[in-house]
Chains A and B, each alone.
Chain A
Amino acid sequence: MQDVIYIVAALLMLVGASFALIAAIGILRLPDIYTRTHAASKAGTLGSGLLLLALAVFSQELTVVTRAFAAIVFFLLTAPISSHLLARAAYLAGYPPEPSTDIRGMAEYGPGQSKQ
């Protein structure tokens, strides 16, 4: 039984670290701030969440498991908020998207409509 817990924790750790690495590669390789937000918010949050889950599985203590789940829920709640806020602020401040981006749909949410 202990072996199963060790293997599950090790696999969760490897997958979580892989997602963190993929997020970092995405931050480095993607062309503009709006696409980089995808990598940081989705893959990065999943990576740190899986690593915390590995800690929870490995500890087998109720206090650690509850705190790990509280931390994961907190990250899952705040990551979309912060990345959306940052992308919206960058768009309203006038940072240009990648030239191939089709932003006609965003034009009606432009700076004029931001602060009523």
Chain B
Amino acid sequence: MISAQDFLILSVDISLVMLLLAFLLTIVRIVIGPTLPDRVLALDMLVAVGIGFIAIIGIKTGYFLYIDVAIALGLIGFLATVAFSRYVLNRGTVVDEGGDPEGNYNIIEIEIRQSAQSAQPASAQTVQGDS
């Protein structure tokens, strides 16, 4: 029977390995995409994994001041995700390989695209001019 302290040290190591795997899998999603929102979501997940790393390192070393770093990192991650969401929203029509710029997915998508063009002709025209 191992002591509680040994169990704590062992679970610190196991948790670090699991978080490393989570980090690598999230990086795979960032690299392969395929769309911009996927990458933004994976960056958000990366911030969450980084906060977990900080908490475990705080337990491992005993420097509890690390939790201030975790709070600051969470704030920055939230603001980055909100800013990227506004960017995705304002960029308008899909232009990367996740979608066809002409919008030929299915009937519902074509209807949505037509209603968007009739509702906002100015922004739709500028984006469509590039493609």
Q: How far is the CA of A68 from the CA of B9 in the complex (A)?
A: 21
Tell me the count of chain A residues lying within 8 A, CB to CB, of chain B.
Answer: 67
Contact present for B67 and A21 (CB under 8 Å): no
Contact partner, A6, options B5, B16, B25, B41, Cβ 8 Å: B5
Interface size class of B (residues with CB under 8 A): 35 or more
Q: How many A-B residue pairs have CB under 8 A?
A: 227
Contact present for B48 and A44 (CB under 8 Å): yes
CB contacts (< 8 Å) of A52 on chain B: these are: 51, 55, 67, 70
Residue-by-residue, is A105-116 near B (CB-CB < 8 Å gives 1, otherwise 0)? 001001111110
Contact present for A82 and B59 (CB under 8 Å): no
CB proximity to B under 8 Å, residues A33-57: 33, 36-37, 40, 44-45, 47-48, 51-52, 54-55
Contact partner, B99, options A13, A70, A89, A96, Cβ 8 Å: A96
Contact present for A18 and B74 (CB under 8 Å): no
Given A6-B4, A94-B99, A111-B112, are A16 and B42 also a contact pair (CB < 8 Å)? no
Nearest residue (CB) in B for A40 is: B45
Given A24-B22, A110-B112, are A17 and B85 also a contact pair (CB < 8 Å)? no
Given A58-B59, A82-B44, are A33 and B11 also a contact pair (CB < 8 Å)? no
Contact partner, A24, options B4, B7, B45, B68, Cβ 8 Å: B45
Contact present for A28 and B19 (CB under 8 Å): no
Given A51-B55, A55-B55, A93-B92, are A24 and B103 also a contact pair (CB < 8 Å)? no
14 residue pairs A–B, Cβ–Cβ below 8 Å? A9-B8, A13-B59, A21-B19, A27-B42, A40-B48, A47-B48, A71-B51, A82-B44, A82-B85, A85-B85, A86-B81, A89-B89, A112-B115, A115-B120
